[in-house]
A and B are shown apart, each in its own frame.
Chain A
């Protein structure tokens, strides 16, 4: 099992947001996590990535059999956890090329590998850029600075392709995307699917799941996964709305 979350409770500034989440993800699977605003979807993603502003108050997270809470943010990343951000931050003056070279080489160092020679790195970049249909000048620009919403999300998927994670969590990667960008982003993800990696796709809408077909759909509501099913659950949600879940819970 790649990821195992047991009875996870977490919050921020003393306010509990996750109230006992259980989730199991195996290699080769795509999981979708859906749910209304403010139910803890992004918090779950942040806690898995190790963001320190969130406090884990109870429960366990295992990744490849390791207690994830004992690993630093960067070590979780180096072990193959990738978070596609909902709102990627701007880093002025730092080109994507330079940023990615630093990231790729730090991950390699962690694995005991030498830094990738410049030529090889650039070839890898070109290959991965095609995957998300990124034009060459985008990678010369500063990380996310002045990017459109679509460019920011493409950049997230590009970085994911470069880092080849084992567990990728995509936090509302579809928000703010037009239909073309959505297709490009989804295609990128589909091309990266392998039997030895897994995706957790967080989304509000069924729309993305037309392109990235999940094996499992979970509904997160008020800090708990209240319903799980196959891909047809997403369609049912689309049809009935989240009110249906709310009513069921009451």
Chain B
């Protein structure tokens, strides 16, 4: 019976990647490789103030003293940083004042990806989604900026923020993820080229979903973006990010940083649907996705919620975390990570309880197929002062087939006696009984696996904003199915 189920799973999980196309865009590149010259080049290209160049150089010099971490359950081929192009930008002839001036090839690219950069196209009665579109190293268009500015909300590319709001950038950049944090954070801090910036003033509830769409297009380049979200006292924002990349035989590096600051009573919801090119069936090519995401609940009663659906990338190394500094603050992490073929994922979270009565929830659902490896790695740390704190963790693994691996590495450290930590974990398989039951109702194997996997991940998927939930559900099925991709 087992072998039957495995045979079906193998057949069904041979999918193709449908975002693998390349767009022919006139692009300018930095010279290949990494040195202080590269950093000067990037900073000059972006016409940055002195503090930025200084920050980058300090990060670069620190990075030189570090070595790549080896503790993750990942098999990473050596990365030659001298072969990577650290800056690639679509050429533009003048400042863009309207959508008409955006390269039609770029518009077509985003349309093909299902991302509308046209503000007029929003559906009647729907609040709409503001989009910052980032291609390779730069943001090409941010929609709804004007509408949002009426509420005092700043939503723009990181580069624009550096130009127009240098004080805010100076105050918060590196305050949650310092450049000394880890190898890839240091690298990003040295060479990051763009990303999104979002500032919600005191008492403002952001009236629409904000989102950034990241697209790698150029070959041999790395994408290093940086996102910074600041929610002042009592503010609320829901933020989403999506990402895709062309299909190439070489591995491409993506090392990003996301920092979130939530003040007293503020609430930030951050959702990711990660669909970087995962490499082919034999494990050739794909994105190396090394990301540092961290939020700090600075004020009391603040809340940061991470939801991630990770289906792409050859290698994923990412632990969206919460520092629960404010009393009564809340951290949440909801994750679905799918690995197929030769993909590897080592992902999870860190919940650092520092304030009193802080609470955190971790729901992680790993799905492994093919010959992939999928690890959950999580740290729950409750400090001495974080009295009466609570954590609930649930880490489930679903195995599709007999050649994949699922691993769970939970680390728990509790330094006071009034806190409660719970950890539950399960490992399951799609059974031949379930497949037969579905087939007997006329449901094909592909649809059946899509149904079962989506059912398994439901607890996480329901956390996603509506706009994203449908896409994520489809993506889960596509990542595991043969015909749809």
Contacts and interface: CB of A to CB of B under 8 A. Distances in A.
Interface string A49-86: 10111000000000000000000111001100011010
Contact of B431 (A74, A89, A100, A159): A89
B451 A89 contact: no
B433 interface: yes
Interface in B429-460: 431-434, 436-445, 447, 451-452, 454-459
A93 B457 contact: yes
B1 interface: yes
B451 A99 contact: yes
A141 to B, nearest CB: 12
Given A93-B457, A94-B454, A98-B451, A77 B437 contact: no
A22 interface: no
| Interface size of A as a range | 20 to 34
B439 A106 contact: no
B4 interface: yes
B161 to A, nearest CB: 40
Nearest to A82: B440
A93 B441 contact: no
A20 interface: no
6 contacts: A73-B440, A74-B445, A82-B440, A85-B437, A102-B443, A103-B442
Nearest to B365: A93
Among B431, B441, B445, B452, which residue has the most Cβ atoms of chain A within 10 A?
Answer: B441
A77 B455 contact: no
A73 B432 CA distance: 13
Given A73-B436, A91-B455, A93-B456, A99 B441 contact: yes
Contacts of A100: 441
3 A-B pairs with the lowest CB-CB distances in the bound complex, closest first: A93-B455, A94-B455, A93-B458
Contacts of B457: 93
A93 B437 contact: no
A237 B440 CA distance: 32
Given A53-B1, A91-B451, A142-B455, A103 B436 contact: no
Interface string A221-239: 0000000000000000000
A108 B325 CA distance: 56
Contacts of A88: 437
A163 B434 CA distance: 18
B442 A74 contact: yes
Contacts of B443: 74, 102-103, 106
B442 A106 contact: yes
Contact of B437 (A89, A102, A106, A142): A89
Nearest to A12: B1
Contacts of B454: 93-94
A38 interface: no
Contacts of A110: 442
A14 to B, nearest CB: 15
Given A52-B4, A53-B4, A73-B436, 7 more contacts: A72-B439, A83-B440, A91-B437, A92-B456, A102-B451, A103-B441, A163-B441
B440 A91 contact: no
Nearest to A162: B441
A157 interface: no
Interface string B450-474: 0110111111000000000000000
B431 to A, nearest CB: 7
A89 B434 contact: yes
A88 B434 CA distance: 9
A107 interface: yes
B334 to A, nearest CB: 14
B394 to A, nearest CB: 13
A107 B443 CA distance: 8
Nearest to B1: A53
Interface in A92-117: 92-94, 98-100, 102-103, 106-107, 110
Contact of B442 (A92, A94, A163): A163
A78 B441 CA distance: 8
Interface in B58-84: none
Contact of A78 (B4, B438, B442, B451): B442
A110 B456 CA distance: 27
A110 B451 CA distance: 19
A70 B432 CA distance: 20
A77 B447 contact: no
B440 A92 contact: no
Contacts of B455: 91-94, 142
Interface string B411-441: 0000000000000000000011110111111
A53 B4 CA distance: 8
Contacts of B1: 53
Nearest to A106: B442
A72 B456 CA distance: 26
Interface string B1-19: 1001000000000000000
Contacts of B447: 102, 106
Contacts of A49: 440
Contact of A89 (B433, B445, B459): B433
B434 A106 contact: no
B112 to A, nearest CB: 25
Contacts of B440: 49, 73-74, 77, 82-83, 85
A103 B444 CA distance: 9
B456 A107 contact: no
B357 to A, nearest CB: 32
B458 A107 contact: no
A128 to B, nearest CB: 14
A74 B437 contact: no
A92 B396 CA distance: 13
A92 B441 CA distance: 17
Nearest to A72: B439
Among B4, B432, B440, B458, which residue has the most Cβ atoms of chain A within 10 A?
Answer: B440
Given A94-B451, A94-B452, A102-B451, A53 B432 contact: yes
Contacts of B442: 74, 77-78, 103, 106-107, 110, 163
Among B438, B447, B458, which residue has the most Cβ atoms of chain A within 10 A?
Answer: B438
Contacts of A98: 451
Contacts of A142: 455
Contacts of B459: 93
A91 B452 contact: yes
